[in-house]
Copies of this chain bind each other. A is one copy, B any other.
């Protein structure tokens, strides 16, 4: 009953907004609050149907390994998409309030609308494929292909709209390449790589309560802050693209907050691959459409570190156990680094493992004869635990979020202070 009353109130608000010319930012702000609230209410109500559909998993870092519903990312992603669907007309309202023709030519910005629709199509494709992954457990090689498929509408839209494939060459390389370089088709390759990286890098810095939604929330807030630096600025094209970015970030922040509420320690729901893909693709899309993909990448410093740090295991130079999550010590109730066995190492793997241990990036345990037995798995979560000692699960999630905040600080510094050394 409460939900019905709220729905009526929300609909009434939407009707009022649709009959007045208000700043689209106000509208998307309103939609975001409503979407966040609906997500916050719906997630617990829908848990049952996830159990019925057998979308549930054990929370392995709790003493009793409770079974909790999985893939709730699908709920927030659906609410998010609905909010943006309903928002479509608002940025364009000024064109139907006045006569739409200047000297017989329609001034309606169909190109902008096309970008908006292509971005939504791309996001929805990724959510859809992410959900298919949660239902079908798609194999890794196909998983890597999914963002490529999902980004096709965006690539097409990009190609069709302006298709700028120039890059500004950093200073050290200008003697070779000149100031501006047209990288042509490589630009599209870059876009695809970016979507693959953004979607999967959140998916591998994952596995403890709150960490996927937590890091995504910080990234989204950072991108939104960066957008706010431009939206009232003198550079009209820059203001436009950052406004576009805000339209996507504000509802994302709202629904992610709702999801984090239920996914925070002790989690009542899991977010699923769906959420990780959805989040990563949202960031990639705004970066690509807004032509600030390098800034978006700067917000991914912890994910980049985690990915590079993980590569020896991801490429099987060092043995990679199926799960590399920190392990619960049931006696202390704290998480400790998980470990990989050091038998059957190739000479290269042997050298690399010793090197990492020597510089403090992993920690060996030794057999009775002083030969190395195991090393900590190469993930950022385990690395944190090496230096902090065992942590409570929610503390570890908090540390990751704090690192993400520091990363954003570094990103802003590079973007606005150090950039002059390069461009």
Enumerate chain A interface residues (CB-CB to B < 8 A). 49-50, 52-55, 74, 78, 81-82, 85-86, 88-89, 92, 96, 105-106, 108, 110-111, 113-114, 117-118, 120-121, 124-125, 127-128, 131-132, 135-137, 149, 152-153, 156-157, 159-161
Of the A-B pairs whose beta carbons lie under 8 Å apart in the complex, a sample of 20, sorted by A's number, is A49-B136, A52-B137, A53-B136, A53-B137, A54-B54, A78-B132, A85-B121, A85-B125, A85-B152, A88-B156, A92-B160, A108-B111, A113-B157, A113-B160, A114-B114, A117-B153, A120-B121, A121-B121, A121-B124, A127-B128
CB atoms of B86 and A152 under 8 A apart: yes
A131 partner residues in chain B, CB cutoff 8 A: 128, 131-132
A86 partner residues in chain B, CB cutoff 8 A: 152
Given A85-B153, A125-B124, residue A74 in contact with residue B132 (CB < 8 A): yes
CB atoms of B88 and A160 under 8 A apart: yes
Copies in the complex: 2
A152 partner residues in chain B, CB cutoff 8 A: 82, 85-86, 88
Cβ-neighbour of A124 out of B128, B136, B137, B156 (below 8 A) = B128
Starting from the known contacts A49-B137, A88-B153, 6 additional A-B residue pairs (CB-CB under 8 Å) come to A49-B136, A55-B135, A74-B132, A82-B149, A106-B111, A121-B121
Bound Cα distance from A117 to B157, whole angstroms: 9
Given A125-B124, A135-B53, residue A160 in contact with residue B117 (CB < 8 A): no
Which B residue's beta carbon lies closest to that of A152?
Answer: B85
**A88 to chain B: closest CB distance in Å?**
4
Bound Cα distance from A88 to B71, whole angstroms: 31
Bound Cα distance from A161 to B110, whole angstroms: 8
Bound Cα distance from A114 to B114, whole angstroms: 5
Which B residue's beta carbon lies closest to that of A120?
Answer: B121
A111 partner residues in chain B, CB cutoff 8 A: 106, 108, 110
A159 partner residues in chain B, CB cutoff 8 A: 89
CB atoms of B135 and A85 under 8 A apart: no
A89 partner residues in chain B, CB cutoff 8 A: 156, 159-160
Most buried by B among A85, A106, A120, A149: A85
Most buried by B among A92, A156, A159: A156
Top 6 A-B pairs, shortest CB-CB distance: A110-B110, A117-B117, A88-B156, A85-B152, A110-B111, A128-B128
Which B residue's beta carbon lies closest to that of A159?
Answer: B89
Bound Cα distance from A388 to B109, whole angstroms: 59
A132 partner residues in chain B, CB cutoff 8 A: 74, 78, 131
Which B residue's beta carbon lies closest to that of A90?
Answer: B156
**A317 to chain B: closest CB distance in Å?**
28
**A107 to chain B: closest CB distance in Å?**
10
Bound Cα distance from A82 to B145, whole angstroms: 13
**A56 to chain B: closest CB distance in Å?**
12
Bound Cα distance from A54 to B56, whole angstroms: 13
**A248 to chain B: closest CB distance in Å?**
15
**A232 to chain B: closest CB distance in Å?**
26
CB atoms of B128 and A121 under 8 A apart: no
Which B residue's beta carbon lies closest to that of A138?
Answer: B49
A114 partner residues in chain B, CB cutoff 8 A: 110, 113-114, 117
